[in-house]
Chains A and B, each alone.
Chain A
Amino acid sequence: MTDAVMTTGVDTRVSPPQTALPERPPAEAPVSPPVAVRMRMETRKLSFFYGKNQALFEISLSIPEKSVTALIGPSGCGKSTFLRCLNRMNDIIVDTRVEGHVLLDGKDIYGPGTDVVDLRRRVGMVFQKSNPFPKSIFENVAYGLKINGLATRGQMPERVEQALRGAALWEEVKDRLHTSALGLSGGQQQRLCIARALAVEPEVVLMDEPASALDPIATQKIEELIYELKRNYTIAIVTHNMQQAARVSEYTAFFMLGRLVEYDRTEKIFTNPGQKITEDYITGRFG
């Protein structure tokens, strides 16, 4: 056994290589079951309904702290719906219903007394299509801080810079902070949205296909960023891109027709899946 394997507790994991990303990090743990890791979020028998249509069927899944969990599956399998249950974004869609539990640090976010506004601050979200506000770059990042009262006017520039650095965007925009965010390229806009989400210091960041509308270079930047972020944040990412799931995630959940088919360490899912159907999907036999 090598040193790398010896030092595998999740929290003491060797930090990933800083250079170009695509390879997997050096083989870390021998498949440690998700149970050994601290769970940040957890769903228990989560079902979701659009009117009479059931979109999710009793999904129980745990999202480990400070790592990336990828949700994969064919279109319409419910992975985005699942993701949006985790910060109650589905609340704003009329005629929908949730059953089961979603725990954030052990507390049910669908329980009575949950402050949805505070929940969404703690569980941030990045959307498929970048959606910067039609305001300046600075104002975009400052928005969450302002509405949540997290920073005074004086602290604002520092916090904005910090968030933009965190999203690896600072160097590109520092001279044009007060120009419109809509003047940025698609990839920059998406990183701005990530910066915006990071600014309010969430505990969990949900990403709904954050790179699906971007070109390969911008995609790579986002992936590198995700790689950086997981040192401090718990991330759940929906993706259609198998390679992306394999590159950025520690854990992968395979969804199909609203059910969780398989959930395990990413290496396991991609090299030795437990279900035939998972293998068929990953190898591109359908989907």
Chain B
Amino acid sequence: MTRAGRRRLLSSAVVLLCGAAVVLALIPLVFIFFYVIRQGFSSLNWDFFTKMPKPVGETGGGMANAMVGTLILIGIASAIAIPVGLVAGIYLSEYGGKSFASLVRFTADVLNGIPSIVIGIFAYGLAVMPVRRFSALAGGVALGFMMIPIITRTTEELLNLVPSSLREGALALGATRARASFSVMVPAALPGIMTGILVSLARISGETAPLLFTAFNNRFFSTRVDQPISSLTVQVYTYAISPYEDWHRQAWAGALVLVAMIFLFSILARVVTRRLERMHRT
């Protein structure tokens, strides 16, 4: 075989390998989607979204309380994590480089790697023990702590991508350092920062472990933040380990709703990014 022929062969082999790896990576996703849809779709009906759970033995009912609960938990977590993560990220990028900033950066990375159950224990000690009651607030705190490092790091990284000539331009017009950050740098990095926030939302909305002993669960409809609250994930978990056939079906439906929700967040992240970017370019 000629040299060129050998090179062509090797090249096609590598391309083939890469393709195979991609397929391999996508197989679990496809299977999960397929299986969850097949199992969950049949149990999905209007009641599932509007009705409350039925007592054991009765069939039917839904997870209305869990869906509202999940939204409330995400809301609390965002209210805590978005401001903190954003400002921390801005600090790291704009004032970072000193030893304190690198310490913050390192701890954010460590925090990001801590198992979610441990975060749950921390929130339990912080927000459950003192008042001796599980609450939506405690659940939100746990989820919020998981969001903070993600938001902080993406904000920092995206701000670092904004050319510093923009900052100089603002400073040269008489802007203060902070003004330049908030009025020029952050808006310029906004599409990416929004993506980071939505990705962190997608990540925490599927969490179960940190909620088990913070938000706990609630069979009833509740919107009070100082009371235990139901969430889709914990509800799915509870139903899935139960011995009842009807609950299993509902667990699948809940799982489908969860997957759809996260899918929606991801799509939203893309749409928002693209729209904001378009505003920037032309």
Give the B-binding residues of A (Cβ under 8 A): 87, 89, 92, 94, 117-118, 120-121, 124-125, 127, 129, 131-135, 143-144, 147-148, 179-180, 182-183, 193, 196-197, 200
Distance (whole angstroms) from the CB of A131 to the closest CB of chain B: 4
Distance (whole angstroms) from the CB of B138 to the closest CB of chain A: 40
Distance (whole angstroms) from the CB of B171 to the closest CB of chain A: 6
Stretch in contact with the other chain, from B5-13, B111-119, B160-168, B208-216: B160-168
A183 and B169 form a contact (CB under 8 A) = no
Nearest 4 A/B pairs, CB to CB: A121-B174, A144-B173, A125-B172, A131-B165
Known pairs A143-B184, A147-B179, A180-B281 / 8 extra A-B pairs, C-beta < 8 Å: A121-B174, A133-B184, A143-B170, A143-B175, A148-B174, A179-B282, A180-B280, A182-B282
With contacts A127-B169, A131-B163, A131-B166 known, is A183 near B174, CB below 8 A? Answer: no
Query: Which residues from chain A contact B167 at a C-beta distance below 8 Å?
Result: 92
**B187: Cβ under 8 A from any A Cβ:** yes
B281 and A147 form a contact (CB under 8 A) = no
Query: Which residues from chain B contact A129 at a C-beta distance below 8 Å?
Result: 165
Which of B169, B174, B279, B282 sits near A133, CB closer than 8 Å? Answer: B169
With contacts A134-B187, A134-B188, A147-B183 known, is A120 near B281, CB below 8 A? Answer: no
Which of B174, B187, B188 sits near A120, CB closer than 8 Å? Answer: B174
Distance (whole angstroms) from the CB of A40 to the closest CB of chain B: 18
A117 and B175 form a contact (CB under 8 A) = yes
Query: Bound state CA distance, A183 and B281, in angstroms?
Result: 6
What are 5 A-B pairs with beta-carbon distances under 8 A? A92-B168, A120-B173, A131-B168, A183-B282, A200-B174
Distance (whole angstroms) from the CB of B133 to the closest CB of chain A: 48
Query: Which residues from chain A contact B183 at a C-beta distance below 8 Å?
Result: 143, 147
Query: Bound state CA distance, A121 and B176, in angstroms?
Result: 11
Query: Which residues from chain A contact B279 at a C-beta distance below 8 Å?
Result: 180
Smallest CB-CB separation from A150: which chain B residue?
Answer: B174
Which of B171, B173, B282 sits near A92, CB closer than 8 Å? Answer: B171
B281 and A182 form a contact (CB under 8 A) = yes
Which of B174, B179, B282 sits near A118, CB closer than 8 Å? Answer: B174
Total interface residues on B, CB under 8 Å, equals 24
A120 and B172 form a contact (CB under 8 A) = yes
Question: Which of A125, A133, A144, A179: most chain B CB closer than 10 A?
Answer: A133
Smallest CB-CB separation from A87: which chain B residue?
Answer: B172
B169 and A193 form a contact (CB under 8 A) = yes
Query: Bound state CA distance, A89 and B168, in angstroms?
Result: 8
Question: Which of B174, B187, B282: most chain A CB closer than 10 A?
Answer: B174
Query: Bound state CA distance, A125 and B166, in angstroms?
Result: 12
Query: Which residues from chain B contact A179 at a C-beta distance below 8 Å?
Result: 282
Smallest CB-CB separation from A181: which chain B residue?
Answer: B280
Query: Bound state CA distance, A129 and B164, in angstroms?
Result: 12
Distance (whole angstroms) from the CB of B102 to the closest CB of chain A: 14
Query: Which residues from chain B contact A196 at a C-beta distance below 8 Å?
Result: 169, 173
B171 and A89 form a contact (CB under 8 A) = yes
Which of A131, A132, A144, A193 sits near B174, CB closer than 8 Å? Answer: A144
Smallest CB-CB separation from A206: which chain B residue?
Answer: B172
Query: Which residues from chain B contact A117 at a C-beta distance below 8 Å?
Result: 174-176
Query: Bound state CA distance, A182 and B280, in angstroms?
Result: 7
A147 and B174 form a contact (CB under 8 A) = yes
With contacts A133-B184, A134-B280, A135-B187 known, is A147 near B175, CB below 8 A? Answer: yes
A180 and B282 form a contact (CB under 8 A) = yes
Smallest CB-CB separation from B189: which chain A residue?
Answer: A134
Query: Which residues from chain B contact A180 at a C-beta distance below 8 Å?
Result: 279-282
Query: Bound state CA distance, A197 and B168, in angstroms?
Result: 12
Query: Which residues from chain A contact B176 at a C-beta distance below 8 Å?
Result: 117
Query: Bound state CA distance, A81 and B122, in angstroms?
Result: 52
Smallest CB-CB separation from B174: which chain A residue?
Answer: A121
Query: Bound state CA distance, A94 and B188, in angstroms?
Result: 24
Over the window 32-43 of chain B, the binary record of Cβ atoms lying under 8 Å from chain A Cβ atoms (1 yes, 0 no) is 000000000000
A133 and B168 form a contact (CB under 8 A) = no
Which of A147, A182, A183 sits near B173, CB closer than 8 Å? Answer: A147
A124 and B281 form a contact (CB under 8 A) = no
Distance (whole angstroms) from the CB of A82 to the closest CB of chain B: 16
With contacts A143-B183, A180-B281 known, is A124 near B175, CB below 8 A? Answer: no
